[in-house]
Amino acid sequence: MAARSQIVKKKILPALRKGHIVVCDRFMDATLAYQGYAGGIDLDIIRKVGTLVTGKIFPRLTFLLDIDVKEGLARAGKTKDRIERRSVLFHRKVRKGYLAIARKEPGRVKIVPAVGSIKENQERIRKIICKSCHLKT
């Protein structure tokens, strides 16, 4: 949460004040999924602390790149970080957590099946952005 507070203050808020679009690869949903749903920390505590450290900054649009846990771990490659080395059961809980968040906030969280090539997944995301912003694809 300290790192999140720092990036909000030093990067995200200044960019938003300048009218920029900010793209992050992880934010509060990641903490909820990993530490909350999979790690057992109380979700309300995570939300309260998260709201405090982010100054109530939350994403308007989130993409959940959904993939089978074993396939996703295989895509991570041979060198695994400490989280990737956790059990398949842990990662299934993380995925279930993300999907629970998406069910609770379908207007914000868009599930993108992460099947096929990177290019295909990028195109799926572009279509969602265009639809959300009422742009032509």
- Residues in CB range of 69: below 8 A, 6 or more apart: 88, 91, 92, 95
Average confidence score pLDDT of the chain: 92
What pLDDT sits at residue 9? 95
pLDDT classification of 136: cutoffs 50, 70, 90: low
pLDDT at 31: 95
What pLDDT digit, counting tens, does each position of 41-50 carry? 999 999 999 9
pLDDT given at position 134: 67
What share of the chain in percent tops pLDDT 70? 97
Q: Of 111, 110, 76, 90, whose CA–CA distance to 34 is shortest?
A: 90
Residue 112's beta-bridge partner residues?
A: 65
| Location of structure tokens 């998406």 | 102
pLDDT tens digit sequence for 51-70: 999 998 999 999 999 999 99
For residues 93 and 127, give the distance between their C-alpha atoms in angstroms, rounded to a whole number: 29
Q: Token pair of 59, please? A: 């994403």
Residue that is written with structure tokens 């900054």 in the block: 57
* Cβ pair 24, 11 in contact under 8 A: no
Among residues 24, 15, 83, 12, which one has the least CA distance to residue 53?
12
**Per-residue pLDDT tens digits for 8-28:** 999 999 999 999 999 998 899
Q: Considering only CA atoms, which of 37, 31, 21 is closest in space to residue 54?
A: 31
The model carries a pTM of 0.89
pLDDT above 60: residue 137:
no
